[in-house]
Amino acid sequence: MPKFPNLFSPVHIGGVEIANRIVSTGHETTMGERGLISDRMIAYHEARARGGAGLIIVQAAGIHETARYSAHLLMLTDDHAIPGYARLAERLHGFGTKVFGQLFHPGREIFDTEDGTAAVGYAPSAVPTSRFRVMPVPLTRGLIAEIVDGYACAARRLMAAGLDGCEIVASHGYLPAQFLNPSLNLRDDEYGGSLVNRTRFINETAAAIRDATQPDFAISLRISGEEKDAEAMDPAEILEACRLINREGVVDCFHVIAGTSASMEGAAHIAPAMHLAPGYTAPIAASVKRLVGKPVIVTGRINQPQIAEAILAGGQADLCGMTRAMICDPEMPAKARAGRTNDIRACIGCDQACIGHFHKSAPVSCIQFPESDRELTLAAQKMPATRRRKVLVASELPPRNLRRCRPPPVPVCERPRR
């Protein structure tokens, strides 16, 4: 009997069949070049596809000029983005891996600009973020319509590039989440007030994407089931929002995580560190799964295949985001499938070279696996030798008998003679 029967069973998201339940979720790699997919980024994702990931969700890409929250954000605002995504999709599809692209607008969560000038954010209402100290400009109805159209156009470009689906980033306090949150959305028009009104932006966005793409192009919605912040939405209201969104019948999958970018407290859950229990978000995902009856991806410190298998076997989710597990060991899926669990390098949640590098505007990597981000240099040097040779490894070892290495005794001063 296979060691992980649930983890390595196929699953459908909309019209897309995924070979297994392991997902490399959307995460900023800082490997883009002038807002476009680079060869370096393709090599990075290709290593995870070769290692056996069932689904790779490519990092957030801006869908409107007001979405430039960082100087290194990918942009999907014109057709120049299509060739890079097409090369990426072709390479990953070669390993049987399915590919989604994230569609992103940060709203008020703007933290730097390319030229260092003050950032300008746009949000449902003029409520500042405590983390980045940005006072946003309230969105007009006209600009909301532009942004919704931006999501649709970006999704159409992903489909033209050969990707299998897209993911609306409504998690971590970004623009769609700002519309949902009554503490941040103070509008008195059709986008504010009741929860039905506050879900309108997401529903209009999903509907516009569906109209712009083919029926078998999958649509995922990433949402924070618990924001874990002082200004957080009530988790019960988030569940109700999921029910209302699901009722429209457009979204094919819900991707559940925790946290928000709006505060340091909430942002700690974007890349949860070692003090949080592995798989701690699974109960949150289970609540969404019971409500929507659609495939649910769960992400949050799922660093070993045993943890993922238990979550799936318990019916808490249908797929598991294991991003940092594959930054630490791109071959984790293949090793797990082969039963070589003792050979897996497990992510310890130190956050030093993954999210730590991102905060320094450097490409993500791993202290346990420095080949991550260096697939075109270090990883390329790891080809098996064509001829066997004898190698001598010389090392300075501590002496066996440590007693012989004790320092000489310090002389004791004699008492002065009288």
Helix axes 200-212, 141-160, angle to 10 degrees: 40
Q: Is 335 helix (H, G, I), strand (E, B) or coil?
A: helix
What is the token pair recorded at 305? 């295949």
Query: Rounded to whole angstroms, how far apart are CA atoms 174 and 191?
Result: 16
Active site residue 174: yes
* Count of CB atoms situated within 10 Å of the CB of 378: 14
Burial class (CB in 10 A: 0-12, 13-18, 19+), 348: middle
Whether 201 contacts 150, CB under 8 Å: no
**Residue that is written with structure tokens 């930054």 in the block:** 327
Query: Rounded to whole angstroms, how far apart are CA atoms 207 and 149?
Result: 10
54: part of which helix (H) or strand (E)? Answer: none
Backbone torsions φ then ψ of 386, nearest 5 degrees: -80, -20
304: part of which helix (H) or strand (E)? Answer: none
CA 184 to chain centre: 24
Query: Rounded to whole angstroms, how far apart are CA atoms 66 and 180?
Result: 19
What is the token pair recorded at 174? 């970004």
Whether 129 contacts 260, CB under 8 Å: no
What is the token pair recorded at 269? 């859950």
Whether 299 contacts 317, CB under 8 Å: no
At 359, which amino acid appears? Answer: H
Whether 259 contacts 266, CB under 8 Å: yes
Whether 308 contacts 278, CB under 8 Å: no
Give the active site residue among 69, 122, 174, 191: 174
Burial 150-172 (b: 16+ CB within 10 A, else e): bbbbbbbbbbebbbbbbbbbbbb
Query: Rounded to whole angstroms, how far apart are CA atoms 364 and 328?
Result: 11
Residues annotated as catalytic are: 174
